[in-house]
Amino acid sequence: MAVNTTGALRCVQAFLPLLRAGERRGRVVNMSSLAGSIALPMYSAYAASKRALEALSDSLRFELKPQGIFVSIIKPGPVATEIWKHGKARSEQVDIGEEGRRLYAQAIEEMQHHTDEMESEGIPPEEVAAAVLHALTSPKPRARYICGTKAVVLHVLSRLLPDKWFDPLIAKAIKDAAKKKTSSA
């Protein structure tokens, strides 16, 4: 929360005088994630921070538009970067204790396999960079840029389907990734 949400707010507050200055107004472009719409198991803190960043960005968009400052949110799905390796290394260092292992071992293993799948299917960082460039330079930037075909489909489904239909789709995708990883090993 301190980095993904509060940090973004403090940066906007610090730079607002500069964003307001001059003939051409500045822009605010916040880096969210598909996790801001779809909270996966074992990603609760990350998803909460990205959902909060989206609420913050939505409010800022209304507050700053009268001053000529556009606010956009970039929402990529998985991106092919080193973040996956860093995340795995850090998660291996966390000790959840005996009770945590008893309660969550299967869910953690399934999400590790799902994370491996997301890493292998990540979109190129250049696709996200192109969205950022558009948000910064377009005369009419969009409020949201969803990056990656899979991310667009999941975002739309999450908004159209009731939770009782959408949740089983996500649960099945997670289990399928675990089965695929187990059968290929």
Residue 96, both tokens: 């959840």
pLDDT of 50 above 70: yes
The per-residue pLDDT for range 24-47, each reduced to its tens digit, is: 788 999 999 998 998 888 888 889
Domains in the chain, CATH or no CATH each: 2-184 (3.40.50.720)
Banded model confidence at residue 16, pLDDT cuts 50, 70, 90: very high
Question: What pLDDT does 99 receive?
Answer: 86
Q: From CA 116, how far away is CA 85, in angstroms rounded? A: 10
| Alpha carbons 85 and 44: distance in angstroms, whole number | 19
104 is catalytic: no
Q: Active site residue: 43, 46, 104, 145, which one?
A: 46
pLDDT in tens, 137-162: 999 999 999 999 888 998 999 999 99
The torsion angles phi and psi of 22, rounded to 5 degrees, stand at: 80, 175
Residue 116 has pLDDT above 80, yes or no: no
Predicted local confidence at residue 164, as pLDDT: 95
> In the chain, what percentage of residues exceed pLDDT 70?
95
Residue corresponding to tokens 């990540």: 122
Q: How far apart are CA 150 and CA 69, in angstroms?
A: 30
pTM: 0.83
For the stretch 51-92, pLDDT in tens is: 999 999 999 999 999 999 999 999 998 887 877 777 677 777
At 181, the pLDDT band (50, 70, 90 cuts) reads: low
Q: Which pair of structure tokens corresponds to residue 109?
A: 């293993």
CA distance 47 to 23: 37
Within 10 angstroms of residue 146's Cβ, the number of other Cβ atoms is 21
